[in-house]
Structures are given as C-alpha cells and as structure tokens.
C-alpha cells in the first residue's frame, strides 16, 4: 500500500525537484541524504529523498533528488538553506528526470528567495572578464586557476549577497559573495571581475543610438586612496578597462562630452577623473565571443 501511495505521489504531483549534487557511489549519496535529512525541519518530512543513477554520466553518476515541491520558490529556498548551512556544495531546480527547470519569476519575488542580506544586497551582478574564478573563501591574493571552485565567463550573471575587503600592507581587495547560475554555488568573486548590475549604465548619442554600456566600481584601496575600475563594453565585444585612484569614495558613472572624451562624474555631475585616450587593457576578442552566456533567472 505504501509503495502505491509513493508511486502516486511521484507521478501525479508537480514535477519540481531539487537536485543536491552528484556523487561517485550510492554509499556517498546515502551519506549525503542522511546529512540533509538530519538538517530538515518537520515541515519537510513529507518530501521524498531519492538516489538516482544516471547511466550515461561518465563521472559522478549518482545524484540525490528531493521533492516534489509545489513551487519553484519553495524548492529554491530548500536548496539554498542546505547550501548556506554547508550540508551541500551545490543544488539545482530540476524535474525528476534531472532536466533543469527555468527559474523565471517576477522581480518582486526574487528578493524574497534570500533572507538575511544587508541592503543593498541581494543584487544581481554581471561578469565582465573572459575568465572569472570563484573561490570558497576570499583571499588576499588570487590563487592558481586549478584551485578555484568554479569558473564563469563574460556576461554571466551572479546573485551578489554581501561584500568584504581583505588587505595586505595597505593594499586592499574588494570581494563579493555570490550565488552562481545552476548548479547554484556560494562562492567569492573579486570586484572588477564581477560588477553589480545596478552600476551598469547605457550611454546613447544625440540621436538615441546606444554607443556603449558603462560601469564604474571601486575595487579596493592603495594606501589611503580608493582604486576604481571604469569599463566600457558592448555585447559580444571585449570591454575597455581603465584603472584610476581618487582620494575618497564616490558613486561614479561615465559621461561622454561633445568631443568624445570619457569622464567619470559623481552624482552631481561634477567631473572627478578624465579617462585616457587608450584603454589600459583589452583582451583578445575570441575569448569573449565563444562563451555562451549563463543567466540566473532564465
């Protein structure tokens, strides 16, 4: 009788499940299941915890799925809670067959998914580097690529949750903790590699034609001065990057004057820095064009 009820639950309920990572064996998946169930509240006691074998997977063929859930929001909150409490290293919202499900939802619903963040977080961020490394903890210096927990590409989205600065001999680096697109992971990214989407502006000419997207963000300190990065970019093209120092913190945006010179201006429209004619950095174009963009609420 119990088997009949379980079968009815699996095949008649909404097919929204949480995949809690992959393992190499059933024993490892069983240990993961015990760890997750031990952290569950009574409200989740009706969920099914299934160990599924993917025969076509060459590595890590066993996955743990939990569900079904009635909404994607509750499924996401379930996975995020276990991720933030350290029981799992990643999660995804999927069907029972493992096919990923879209996380599309209204803007008003997004911030409700994550609680406990200090404003202005959570906020979406965008990757503006061809290869951006994510780390389990922020570091004073960037380590080797092979030791990174994940790699993101140009214009991928990250949901930023908090920031932190780490300093060495007066030189400080600003870091963002972010939640990646699926599989969702909690990682740290260096500012400048990832930029808050709220700082991105669209610049148009007198005829209304878009000529650039721009962003200015502070990425650290050099002694007593604030280090800024200004970026100008267009989709599928590598960005121009400018680094400069100012004596204090400003909230800046880029403005282009009538003769085509770019300037960093504050909220009052007062110029604080004029960008040089030539960018200090512009990587190889092919590194940007071959990446398939990954968005968060797709």
pLDDT digits (tens, 9 = 90+) for 164-207: 999 988 899 999 999 999 899 999 999 999 999 999 998 887 78
Could you tell me the two tokens for 268? 């009052």
- Strand blocks (E) in the chain: 17-23, 48-53, 62-67, 92-94, 123-127, 131-134, 150-153, 157-168, 171-179, 186-190, 194-196, 200-204, 210-222, 225-233, 240-246, 253-256, 262-265, 271-274
Are 263 and 253 in contact, with CB atoms under 8 Å apart? no
Between 134 and 96, name the one with better pLDDT: 134
Tell me the average pLDDT across 17-29: 88
Tell me the average pLDDT across 51-61: 77
Burial class (CB in 10 A: 0-12, 13-18, 19+), 254: buried
Which structural domain, as residue segments, surrounds residue 246?
120-290
CA distance 220 to 181: 26
Q: What pLDDT is attached to residue 247?
A: 95
User: Residue 256's pLDDT band (boundaries 50, 70, 90)?
Assistant: confident
Q: What pLDDT is attached to residue 259?
A: 82
Three-state secondary-structure class, residue 127 = strand
Number of domains, the chain: 2
Please indicate, yes or no, if residue 109 is contained in any of the structural domains: no
Could you tell me the two tokens for 255? 């403005």
Q: pLDDT over 70 for what percent of the chain?
A: 86
Tell me the average pLDDT across 220-227: 94
Q: Are residues 7 and 82 in the same domain?
A: yes
Tell me the average pLDDT across 135-141: 84
pLDDT at 260 over 70: yes
Q: Are residues 160 and 236 in the same domain?
A: yes
Q: What pLDDT is attached to residue 105?
A: 76
How far is residue 228 from each of residues 30, 59, 209, 239, 259, measured CA to CA in Å? 48, 42, 27, 15, 24
Q: What pLDDT is attached to residue 42?
A: 45
Please indicate, yes or no, if residue 99 is contained in any of the structural domains: no
Question: Model-level pTM?
Answer: 0.86
Q: What pLDDT is attached to residue 5?
A: 41
Q: Are residues 9 and 146 in the same domain?
A: no
Q: Are residues 19 and 63 in the same domain?
A: yes
Place of tokens 């093209």: 237
Q: Are residues 279 and 166 in the same domain?
A: yes
Q: Are residues 152 and 79 in the same domain?
A: no
Q: What is the CA radius of gyration of the chain?
A: 22
Q: What pLDDT is attached to residue 258?
A: 81
């Amino acid at each position: 009788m119990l088997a009949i009820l379980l079968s009815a639950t699996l095949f008649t309920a909404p097919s929204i499940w949480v995949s809690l990572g992959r393992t190499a064996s059933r024993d490892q998946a069983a240990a993961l299941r015990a760890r997750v169930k031990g952290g569950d509240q009574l409200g989740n006691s009706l969920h099914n915890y299934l160990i599924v074998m993917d025969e076509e997977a060459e590595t890590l063929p066993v996955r743990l799925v939990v569900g079904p859930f009635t909404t994607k929001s509750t499924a996401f909150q379930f996975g995020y809670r276990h991720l933030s409490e350290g029981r799992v290293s990643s999660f995804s919202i999927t069907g029972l067959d493992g096919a990923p499900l879209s996380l599309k939802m209204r803007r008003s619903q997004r911030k409700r998914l994550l609680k406990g963040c200090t404003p202005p977080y959570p906020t979406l961020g965008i990757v503006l580097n061809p290869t951006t490394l994510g780390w389990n903890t922020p570091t004073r210096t960037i380590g080797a690529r092979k030791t990174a927990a994940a790699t993101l590409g140009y214009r991928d989205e990250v949901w930023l949750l908090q920031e932190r600065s780490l300093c060495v001999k007066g030189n400080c680096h600003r870091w963002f903790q972010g939640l990646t697109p699926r599989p969702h992971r909690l990682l740290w990214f260096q500012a400048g590699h990832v930029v808050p989407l709220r700082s991105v502006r669209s610049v148009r000419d007198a005829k209304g034609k878009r000529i650039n997207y721009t962003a200015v963000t502070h990425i650290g300190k050099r002694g007593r001065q604030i280090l800024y990065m200004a970026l100008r970019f267009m989709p599928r093209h590598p960005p121009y990057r400018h680094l400069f120092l100012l004596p204090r913190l400003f909230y800046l945006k880029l403005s282009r004057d009538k003769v085509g010179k770019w300037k960093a201006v504050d909220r009052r429209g007062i110029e604080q820095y004029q960008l040089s004619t030539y960018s200090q950095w512009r990587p190889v174009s092919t590194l940007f064009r071959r990446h398939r963009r990954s968005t968060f609420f797709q």
